[in-house]
């Protein structure tokens, strides 16, 4: 397995507060990784840096086979290069139907002209329908996504991410506000996705992380505190001190 | 897997019945006015009113552009009337040049020696710029002799200005109220520049006599007004079809998404700035064309026409008509501008309260302001929202309904949306 993303020595501070401090992180081509850490550990900032929303003060972010630096690319270029992101709060386009949301996310040329003259083929429609089935929204395909429940919106957003067909999937608290059955379904979707791509899940919920059954990275005060299996990191003295033993 | 058919196999007209309804109404209106006109019909409608109606159609067209940029893409531009005015100036330059040229040639024909081109040019320049104390053509009049070039300028000048301005503004991620202020500053700066006598466009005199078509002085205004009326109706129809097409497919999806959550669209991989720039420039071009049709009917254009207030009116029309739907913009522009003509034309009866007389010429703006606030507060869908009630497309009443498994979906106060 080759490395897909390599973050090394990255630091960023906001008004003197070091949100990320000399952080290094690696993830392979097809890997599921959970990132945990107490509030303010820098989990969201970490995602912001990879997706281009925040520019770090120093450090390198190398991505892909050609080893491109993500730091010089715009958000949309990074997304086109295959980095997909799901936000903490579900952000779907509430005014538009589930179908339109998925169709917009579907991996296609993103330029204005291509979009203007775009006509979905039967293949595209099939893809969208498949995705809707996968995320349990087949019946709601033509409903406005604003009418969906919170959990359904979370799934729709995951569906939109899958439609983008990213090579690296960054998922911020996917299980927030979901019922236990919905959580189970979400775990399945993420594990399935991780077979063909890299998936980074930021999560607070230990039960959820346990069910993901993957390597865990613990962040604390902007840098990596421990890395390994969940059982391994939960035995780590420092981790217990800052996070688990509160 | 359940088979889902392509949702867009139907022809364009069937997918968007509102376009067909609109075009039918516009066609009926055009035929009706033609029959009632002085030039081609029974003469019930005066030529000046035909011009008012033709101008209204042009305002509807620029309102469409405003709706596209604001209602669909969420860019509250308060400078689109600048593009409208530039279109007017571009065509006005040719109209004025060509007509003055004919007059000058006529007066020089009596001279013993045939006039040299330089004499003709000087004669025209003196005629046009005498009023601002100049007698030479400024460089921007270099193409004024050519109708095709000035017609190209109708599209190119507003388009280029929008492209450069938009590129600078969007690239720096200027959004929301800051962008509105910036566009406002643009139109203010442009109008102040044009107010200067040495701006090359006759300062505050503006360009006049635009209703007279060069070489067609024997054609009465009753006929010319109908030509422009038809031209305006055709432009509105084509503009409506173009806008409806742009907002119909995935492009419409993307720009509405940009309106609702710009950052999210960026993370989907769409170059948001480029999309905004395309819409901004496209709508500027539409505004320019609308202006080029409007000012020959108005007869005169001066820098006051592109003062910031004009663009604010434009936003008010679209808000009152109902933004985010194309016919809303048209209804708003037509309704408010015709009503404004009625009130400010002194036709509305004054109200005598005994101690004070409400004169509508003065109080119309107050009424307009109040109705703008009223619409914003109580009927955000505008007049166009009435159509929803008419065809009973109201969103289902969700008051008190179950809000989903974890109560996290639409909240109670959102139930009306």
Q: What is the ipTM of this complex?
A: 0.87
Predicted confidence at residue B178, as pLDDT, reads: 94
Q: Between chains, do B405 and A149 touch, taking CB under 8 Å as contact?
A: yes
The string of pLDDT tens digits covering residues B96-139 is 999 999 999 988 888 888 888 888 888 899 889 888 888 888 88
- Regarding beta strands A68-69 and A58-63, do their DSSP bridges make them parallel or antiparallel, or are they unpaired? antiparallel
Average pLDDT rounded to a whole number, residues B361-372: 87
pLDDT at B2: 46
Average pLDDT rounded to a whole number, residues A8-24: 88
Q: What is the predicted pLDDT for the residue at B228?
A: 95
Q: What's the mean per-residue pLDDT of chain B?
A: 88
Residue pair A125/B4 in contact (Cβ under 8 Å)? The answer is yes
**Residues 6+ away with beta carbon under 8 Å from B194:** B89, B201, B203, B303, B306
Higher pLDDT, B392 or B328: B328
Average pLDDT rounded to a whole number, residues B265-270: 92
| Average pLDDT in chain A | 87
* b/e per residue A104-127 (b: at least 16 CB within 10 A): bbbbbebebeebbebebeeebbeb
Low-confidence winner among A163-177, B24-38, B223-237, B377-391 (lowest mean pLDDT): B377-391
Chosen from A75, A159, A172 to mutate, greatest number of chain B CBs within 10 A: A75
The tokens describing B121, both together, are 């040019």
Q: Distance between CA atoms of B367 and B346, rounded to whole angstroms?
A: 15
Cβ within 8 Å, pair A104-B246 = no
Structural domain containing residue A34: 3-244
Please give the tally of structural domains in chain A.
1
Q: Is A13 on the interface with B (CB under 8 A)?
A: no
| A119 interfacial to chain B (CB closer than 8 Å) | yes
- Chain A residues 31-70 with a CB less than 8 Å from chain B: 51, 53
Regarding predicted confidence, which is higher, B220 or B415? B220
Specify the residue for token string 């329908």: A129
Find, in chain A, the residue whose alpha carbon is nearest to that of B248: A116
CATH of the domain at A222: 3.40.50.300
Listed ranges A16-25, A124-133, B342-351, B361-370; the one with the highest mean pLDDT: A124-133
Of B57 and B342, more confident: B57
Note the pLDDT of residue B398: 53
Q: Which residue has the higher pLDDT, B354 or A132?
A: A132
What is the reported pLDDT for B417? Answer: 45
Residue B1 pLDDT level (bands cut at 50, 70, 90): very low
Q: How far apart are CA A133 and CA A109, in angstroms?
A: 24
Tell whether pTM > 0.90.
Answer: no
Measured CA distances, A197 to A64, A189, A193, B24 (Å): 12, 12, 6, 53
pLDDT score, position B274 = 95
Predicted confidence (pLDDT) at residue B371 exceeds the cutoff of 50 = yes
Q: Could you say which DSSP state residue A94 is in? A: T
Of B127-141, B328-342, B382-396, the one with minimum mean pLDDT is B382-396
Q: How many CA atoms lie within 13 A of A244 on its CB side?
A: 16
């Amino acid at each position: 397995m080759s490395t897909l993303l390599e973050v090394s020595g990255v630091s960023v501070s906001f008004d003197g507060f070091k949100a990320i401090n000399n952080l290094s992180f690696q993830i392979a081509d097809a890997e599921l990784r959970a990132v945990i850490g107490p509030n303010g550990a820098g989990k969201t900032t970490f995602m912001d840096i990879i997706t281009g929303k925040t520019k770090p003060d120093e450090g390198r972010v190398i991505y892909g086979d050609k080893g491109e630096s993500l730091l010089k690319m715009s958000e949309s270029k990074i997304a086109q290069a295959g980095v997909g992101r799901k936000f903490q709060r579900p952000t779907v386009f509430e005014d538009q139907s589930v179908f339109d949301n998925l169709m917009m996310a579907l991996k296609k040329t993103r330029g204005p002209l291509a979009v203007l003259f775009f006509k979905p083929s039967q293949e595209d429609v099939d893809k969208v329908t498949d995705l809707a089935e996968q995320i349990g929204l087949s019946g709601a395909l033509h409903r406005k996504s604003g009418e969906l429940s919170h959990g359904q919106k979370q799934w729709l957003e995951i569906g939109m991410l899958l439609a983008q067909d990213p090579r690296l999937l960054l998922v911020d608290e996917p299980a927030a506000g979901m019922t236990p059955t919905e959580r189970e379904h979400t775990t399945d979707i993420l594990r399935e996705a991780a077979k063909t791509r890299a998936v980074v899940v930021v999560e607070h919920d230990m039960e959820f992380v346990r069910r993901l059954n993957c390597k865990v990275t613990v962040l604390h005060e902007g840098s990596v505190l421990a890395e390994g299996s969940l059982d391994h990191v939960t035995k780590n003295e420092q981790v217990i001190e800052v996070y688990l033993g509160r | 897997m359940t088979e889902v058919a392509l949702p867009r196999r139907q022809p364009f007209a069937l997918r968007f019945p509102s376009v067909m309804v609109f075009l039918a109404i516009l066609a009926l209106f055009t035929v009706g006015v033609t029959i009632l006109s002085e030039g081609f019909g029974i003469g019930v409608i005066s030529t000046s009113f035909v011009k008012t109606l033709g101008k209204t159609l042009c305002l509807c067209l620029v309102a469409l552009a405003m709706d596209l940029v604001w209602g669909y893409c969420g860019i509250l531009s308060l400078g689109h009337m600048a593009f409208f005015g530039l279109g007017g100036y571009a065509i006005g330059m040719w109209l004025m040049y060509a007509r003055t040229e004919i007059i000058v040639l006529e007066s020089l024909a009596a001279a013993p020696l045939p006039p040299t081109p330089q004499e003709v040019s000087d004669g025209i320049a003196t005629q046009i710029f005498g009023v601002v104390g100049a007698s030479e053509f400024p460089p921007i009049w270099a193409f004024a002799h050519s109708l095709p070039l000035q017609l190209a300028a109708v599209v190119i000048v507003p388009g280029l200005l929008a492209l450069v301005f938009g590129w600078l503004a969007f690239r720096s991620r200027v959004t929301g109220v800051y962008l509105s202020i910036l566009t406002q500053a643009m139109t203010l700066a442009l109008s102040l520049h044009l107010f200067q006598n040495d701006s090359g466009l006759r300062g505050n005199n503006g360009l006049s006599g635009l209703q007279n078509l060069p070489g067609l002085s024997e054609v009465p205004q009753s006929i010319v007004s109908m030509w422009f009326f038809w031209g305006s109706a055709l432009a509105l129809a084509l503009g409506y079809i173009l806008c409806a097409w742009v907002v119909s497919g995935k492009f419409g999806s993307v720009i509405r998404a940009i309106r609702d959550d710009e950052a999210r669209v960026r993370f989907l991989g769409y170059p948001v700035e480029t999309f905004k720039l395309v819409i901004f420039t496209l709508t500027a071009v539409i505004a320019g064309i609308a202006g080029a049709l409007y000012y020959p009917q108005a007869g005169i254009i001066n820098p006051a026409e592109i003062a910031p207030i004009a663009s604010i009116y434009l936003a008010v029309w679209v808000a009152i008509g109902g933004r985010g739907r194309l016919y809303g913009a048209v209804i708003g522009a037509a309704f408010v501008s015709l009503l404004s003509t009625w009130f400010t034309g002194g036709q509305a009866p004054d109200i005598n309260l005994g101690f004070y007389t409400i004169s509508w010429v003065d109080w119309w703006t107050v009424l307009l302001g109040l109705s703008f606030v009223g619409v914003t507060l109580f009927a955000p869908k505008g007049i166009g929202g009435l159509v929803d009630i008419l065809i009973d497309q109201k969103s289902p009443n969700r008051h008190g309904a179950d809000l989903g498994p974890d109560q996290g979906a639409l909240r109670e106060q959102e139930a009306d949306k």
